[in-house]
Chains A and B, each alone.
Chain A
């Protein structure tokens, strides 16, 4: 079966750096997405990786290793507004998105 694994919950301190990992086992691979979802709101797109390596976008970076079935989202200079759930999703060989359950990130002052 297809599976996306990510930690259920993480806690970090304001101003620090946090890395959220995602491992996947899917039938085929056509890209990996990270979304942010604040409580009670819609998921919003953060990043897309289809080739190995690091994609940087301001305070957020996303890394992909296709051979290891692994990605991480790196958040730097954490702010209180970064408290949210972070969803990892992989597009499989049928171009369907397979979603992880999300990682709830709690930022403490």
Chain B
């Protein structure tokens, strides 16, 4: 079945470090891909998305490129801040009436 795999956390970085969170997916066809962020004690928020191959989603300094050939959608940020500490979820959706399938989440802690 369709699934999303993310690198295991927790990930701990110093402020201003470079961030990469790996995400790969298994799905037939051409799913839309998403990154959601969950700050402590809150619900999920959409961070960015890409709907077709080679699309790059970006928001708040975060970027991810839809790579069909490697079935990947890795999240990157050039310089993380303490306020980026959260759990990050990679997700896919195949069609509008399909469910969103989430990865297991990757916890990020940024220390000053």
Are A and B interaction partners?
A: no
Give A residues with C-beta under 8 Å from B.
none
Give B residues with C-beta under 8 Å from A.
none
